[in-house]
């Protein structure tokens, strides 16, 4: 399996790029977002890749970072989502925006991608709302800047999920408590969970 490529950009098409790696041209299907970030033809570029075989045809898909590749693989696991549709979603919504939409149960936002209708958008949010979503670059930044606070938020969400709440509900409640608390990230984990539970009880 080819996991990554680095070479000279030979051509950029509407939905693909061709990288010349040691004289061999690799056609790599990419999202519009990834294609727009590539340098001009003749310059060097690198892409993470994923090979997908469908109907006896193997295609190579390219991504600008691990988060985009992880989301692509996750989306392929949903019934009705093929590789092209997954790329269409990633071309319109960044990994961060996708994560926010799933956690907020905002299926309408997903319909901004070509080919994603209301029913399919609802299926995506329903199937993914209680799953561990791929880490996004912003998640990594938060963890690097304030690992203790990030762990506290994660533990609070996990505790709420353990009590029977959906992941999207738990994320939203914890975020609201942290935003409204005078202590901010300084709030202790026990009080964070209690305040989140009170918020969830009011909403039900």
The span from the CA of 28 to the CA of 74, in Å, is 19
The predicted structure's pLDDT at residue 6? 96
Q: With contact defined as beta carbons under 8 Å apart, do 90 and 68 qualify?
A: yes
CA distance 106 to 45: 35
Exposed e or buried b per residue across 189-202, where buried means at least 16 C-beta atoms within 10 angstroms of its C-beta: eeebbebbbebbee
Q: Predicted confidence band at 185 (pLDDT cuts at 50, 70, 90)?
A: low
pLDDT digits (tens, 9 = 90+) for 134-168: 876 655 544 444 566 777 888 888 888 888 888 77
Return d(Cα 196, Cα 115) in angstroms, integer.
37
pLDDT reported for residue 138? 56
How many of the other CB atoms lie within 10 Å of CB of 61?
26
pTM flag (> 0.75): no
Q: What is the pLDDT of residue 137?
A: 60
Average pLDDT over residues 158-184: 83
Span 93-120, average pLDDT: 90
**What is the C-alpha radius of gyration for the chain, rounded to an integer number of angstroms?**
20
């Amino acid at each position: 399996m080819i996991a990554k490529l680095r070479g000279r950009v030979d051509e950029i098409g509407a939905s693909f790029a061709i990288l010349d790696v040691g004289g061999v041209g690799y056609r790599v299907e990419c999202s519009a977002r990834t294609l727009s970030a590539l340098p001009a033809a003749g310059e060097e570029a690198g892409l993470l890749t994923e090979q997908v075989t469908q109907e006896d045809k193997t295609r190579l898909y390219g991504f600008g970072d691990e988060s985009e590749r992880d989301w692509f693989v996750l989306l392929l696991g949903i019934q009705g989502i093929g590789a092209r549709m997954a790329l269409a979603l990633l071309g319109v919504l960044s990994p961060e925006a996708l994560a926010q939409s799933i956690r907020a149960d905002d299926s309408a936002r997903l319909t901004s991608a070509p080919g994603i209708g209301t029913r399919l958008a609802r299926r995506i949010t329903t199937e993914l709302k209680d799953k561990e979503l791929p880490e996004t670059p912003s998640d990594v930044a938060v963890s690097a800047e304030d690992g203790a606070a990030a762990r506290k938020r994660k533990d609070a969400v996990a505790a709420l999920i353990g009590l029977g709440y959906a992941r999207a509900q738990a994320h939203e409640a914890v975020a609201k408590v942290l935003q409204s608390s005078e202590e901010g990230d300084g709030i202790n984990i026990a009080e964070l969970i209690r305040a989140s539970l009170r918020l969830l009880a009011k909403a039900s």
